[in-house]
Amino acid sequence: MLNNGQSIGNPTRGYKLNFSPGISDVVHEFCGNHNISGAECPLCLKPSIRLLSLDARDSRLNVDFARFASIPLLYCWTCRVPYGEFVYKVLSDGGVQIISVPTKDPRMDEFGPAGPYDGYTGQFPLSRVSLEPLSDAEQEQLVAMQMPGAETDYDAYFGHQIGGFPFYSQSAESVMSELQKRNAADCVHL
């Protein structure tokens, strides 16, 4: 997620999703149906998958709650969205404006309406989750796994993660440059 000039993974600490949030935790919405204005896939002409709506009241996310109540993380699994830059602007009213989708590439093997696996429905039930920081050991292993010559038998955490390492496979500077060209601050880039 990019947020007005922040150019590294944000938050820098990685958090995993806790599907049994405590009573005092800030709760985020994982998957489920949504009615986010503008959140239709422009290629498939159907609602995008809402992977997560992050509640801006969670101060660890460094999102200005005065400007955004939540940040939706959107996706589509039946077209070329997974194979390039998918950029949208988050609007202050909770809606989004799609800025760009990946360009068509014949080398991409898009899944199509059947989706990426047998039995795919595109429907994922809503879960309410909180964020739990990765342990130092988990964080260190995630970093080590990215190093040249890394071994493959790390007992690292694999799962849904917000922030932390690894972050962009593409330099954040190039993403920011592209967004600034488009005059598109407050964008989410996946």
73 beta partners: 52
**CB neighbour burial string for 44-67, b if at least 16 within 10 angstroms, e if fewer:** beebbbbbbbbbbebeebebeeee
Indicate whether 129 belongs to the interface with Zn ion (CB under 5 A): no
Indicate whether 76 belongs to the interface with Zn ion (CB under 5 A): yes
C-alpha span between 105 and 63 (Å, rounded): 34
Q: How far is the CB of 18 from Zn ion (least distance, A)?
A: 29
Site map (CB under 5 A) of Zn ion, residues 79-98, x = contact: x-------------------
Indicate whether 41 belongs to the interface with Zn ion (CB under 5 A): yes
Q: How far is the CB of 145 from Zn ion (least distance, A)?
A: 30
Q: The tokens of 118 are what?
A: 């047998």
Quick one: which segment of 76-84, 92-100, 112-120, 171-179 binds Zn ion (CB under 5 A)? 76-84
Q: How far is the CB of 129 from Zn ion (least distance, A)?
A: 24
Q: Which of 44, 51, 99, 172 binds Zn ion (CB under 5 A)?
A: 44
Tell me which residue of 15, 27, 34 sits closest to 72, measured CA to CA.
34
- Only one residue has tokens 């806790």, namely 18
Binding site for Zn ion (CB under 5 A): 41, 43-44, 76, 79
